[in-house]
Amino acid sequence: MQTKDFDYDLPPALIAQFPAERRAQSRLLHLDGASGALRDAQFRDLPRFLRAGDVMVMNDTRVIKARLFGTKESGGRVEILVERVLDGHRALAQVRASHGPKPGSRLVLDCGTPVGVGGRAGEFHQLEFEAEETVLDLLERHGSLPLPPYIARAPESGDDARYQTVYARRPGAVAAPTAGLHFDEGMLAAVRGLGVHLAYVTLHVGAGTFQPVRVENVAEHRMHSECYEVPQATVDAIEQARAGGGRVLAVGTTTLRALEAAAAGGTLEAGQGETDIFIVPGYRFRVVERLLTNFHLPRSTLLMLASAFGGPENVRCAYRRAVEGRYRFFSYGDAMLIERQ
């Protein structure tokens, strides 16, 4: 497979710069992977696609205010994007500056906190925050929300709530699991009222989710690694749904990746770990039958995953339909419900 096989033309005007006025106000494109049939709907119609006994699995990660600014000892400005919090005072982060900081040097944040620069782990620097408060507390007080690069504006106060799912509870992500942004409490209640079981996983989305595939041969791409956890309660809910003829709906590609990573040994197992699972057409899905997702960037690993799930030609047709129908794309855009091919 070639990366160009997952390209498409997207008018910039279709990239959503702001969320819909209300969470459940988005549109929904339904793709039947078996037949390729497409159906235009509204997100509020989602309960019509569900039935009692199904299980809907969501990623409960919470986006942290991961962007910080400061200076080097030389006086040069730096921008820090925390990728992963390691413990109370250490984190892995991208550091953008005219010249990258050297191990052993120090940075000073605009809030006055000194930061020691340790060794590198690939493109990331290990940083030690020399403050009494924890990294998470410091980020909450002094950091800013890391909106995706294709949102061409600074974060506003409303983004603090809208770039966060209503069920987010475990801080650690630097990007939102965007398929979940469409749910409000009313929609969750409606789904529960149908007899659909709600279950959760945690996968802390890293900045690598926005990294382009830089090789033309898809097989040469190496995925970034992310931390995930699948609780025993979620495994039990999935097994119970299957025993009763129910279906597994993953809300978002991150939820799907966590579940499929946890089933890499052949059966779904509770636990936690790291995954760099790269799902492309030809992958054999073990857990998920249905995927709720947003529309993804051209030539991206997320579009490759969606193509693997719904079928490459089916997904190409769906994206043409979405462009022609002027659906809204990417994080603050509309949604797509895909039945596995």
**pLDDT digit string (tens) for 250-294?**
999 999 999 999 999 999 999 999 999 999 999 999 999 999 999
Q: Which residues contact 284 (CB under 8 A, 6 or more apart)?
A: none
The whole model's pTM is what?
0.95
In terms of pLDDT, which residue wins out, 206 or 189? 189
Residue pLDDT, tens place only, 6-48:
999 999 999 999 999 999 999 999 999 999 999 999 999 999 9
Average pLDDT score over residue span 188-197: 98
| Residue 210: pLDDT band with limits 50, 70, 90 | confident
Structure tokens at 82: 């925390």
Structure confidence by residue, pLDDT tens digits, 172-185: 999 999 999 999 99
- pLDDT for residue 147: 94
Pairing label, strands 67-72, 106-109: antiparallel
The segment(s) of the chain belonging to CATH 2.40.10.240 are 67-142
What is the distance of C-alpha 295 from the center of its chain?
Answer: 12
The two structure tokens encoding residue 36? 């390729």
pLDDT of res. 121: 85
Residue 188 reports pLDDT greater than 90: yes
- Cβ–Cβ under 8 Å, residues 28 and 41: yes
Q: Would you state the pLDDT for residue 207?
A: 79
Q: What is residue 110's predicted lDDT score, i.e. its pLDDT?
A: 97
Return the pLDDT at 159.
97
Residues of each domain in the chain carrying CATH 3.40.1780.10: 3-63+159-339
Amino acid letter for position 123: E
Closest to 267 in 3D by CA, of 292, 302, 290, 242: 242
Kindly tell me if the per-residue pLDDT of 166 is higher than 80.
yes
Sign of the alpha-carbon dihedral angle for 278, 280, 282, 285 = positive
User: Is the predicted pLDDT of residue 211 greater than 80, yes or no?
Assistant: no
Q: What is the pLDDT of residue 55?
A: 98
**Residue 209: pLDDT over 90:** no
CATH fold for domain 3-63+159-339: QueA-like (3.40.1780)
- In CATH terms, is domain 67-142 a member of 3.90.950.20? no
Res. 337: pLDDT tops 80: yes
Please provide the average confidence, as pLDDT, over all residues in the chain: 96
With 90 as the cut, is the pLDDT of residue 208 above it? no
294-317 residue pLDDT tens: 999 999 999 999 999 999 999 999
> Which of 10-14, 64-68, 71-75, 163-167 shows the lowest mean pLDDT across its residues?
71-75
For the segment 130-161, what is each residue's pLDDT rounded down to a tens digit?
999 999 999 999 999 999 999 999 999 999 99
Of all residues in the chain, the percent with pLDDT exceeding 70 is: 100
The tokens for 209 are 């989710």
Beta bridge partners of 201: 59
**Confidence at 79, pLDDT banded by 50, 70, 90:** very high
